[in-house]
Each structure stands twice: as C-alpha cells, then as structure tokens.
Amino acid sequence: MNNKYVLWVDDKFEKTVYRKSFQAVRGGLDETLELWGKTCHFVVWPSEKVEFFVDGKSLNTQEDYEHALDMSYEESISHYERTMRRYSWVMVLIMGLTCILYLVVELQGGDMSRWNGTMVLVLVILVLNLVDIVRGRKR
C-alpha cells in the first residue's frame, strides 16, 4: 500500500494527520510512514490504538517485538481475541470462586443478606464473560 505520511513533533498538523489518516484505517504492518525521517510501520488495533514500529521495536511501549513486521493484521486480531478470551476465563474463575465462597458461608448459617446486591452483580459479570467466551468460539 505504501501510503507515506510525514508526522512532525509538537505540531497541530500531526494531530490532523493522525485523525484523518489513522482513525478510519484498518491497516496492518504493511502500511509504512515516515516518522522523524525514518521509515516505520504502524498497525491499528481493534481497540482503535495505533502502534508504531521502527526496526521491530514499538515506539509506543518501547518494547522489542522481533516478529512485529512478520505479523499480519489477521494474526494481530487473532492474538488480541485470544488474549481477551484468556481474560474472560480469568474473570469466570474469580467470579465462580466468589459464588462458591458465598454459598459456603450462606450454608453454614452466616448472615449474607447485605451481600445479595453484590452477588447479583457478580452473577451478571459471570454470565457476560461466559457469553463472551461462547460467542468467541463460534467465530
């Protein structure tokens, strides 16, 4: 695609270029631009975050990511979805343990009436995460 954009430091034009060029783009790391005189690549993640890479190093996080230039947009979305699914599983485990502890205390005769509202919220979060996991598997 070789779209080339020049961004300037501390300039209002940089924000204009960013808004017009990157917000609507669903490009991958094959998109190049010139940043401070160096050619670099960018990717627009599903969360609308734009990340820039120069020589395999992220300018956003300052972390080395040696396979960044080899990762296609589809692979990056797949990686993002897998990460979100893992977070959903962690939330399911935490909320499930909370429900089990609530039931154990309730069955032992403890007064848990003031926690009923909190447990309703826990159950809603649990159901939403389970739906998210099931929906992710159907794709």
Per the prediction, the chain carries an average pLDDT of: 71
The torsion angle over the Cα atoms of residues 32, 46, 20 and 18, rounded to 10 degrees, is: -60
Domain ranges of the chain: 6-71, 74-138
CB atoms within 10 A of CB 100: 10
- Per-residue confidence (pLDDT) for residue 85, from 0 to 100: 87
- pLDDT classification of 121: cutoffs 50, 70, 90: very high
Q: Which residues contact 110 (CB under 8 A, 6 or more apart)?
A: none
SS3 state of residue 135? helix
Q: Is the pLDDT of residue 130 over 80?
A: yes
Is pTM beyond 0.85 here? no
- Percent of the chain exceeding pLDDT 90 equals 23
Structure confidence by residue, pLDDT tens digits, 12-58: 444 444 444 554 554 444 456 666 667 776 666 666 566 777 766 77
CB 29 within 8 Å of CB 69: yes
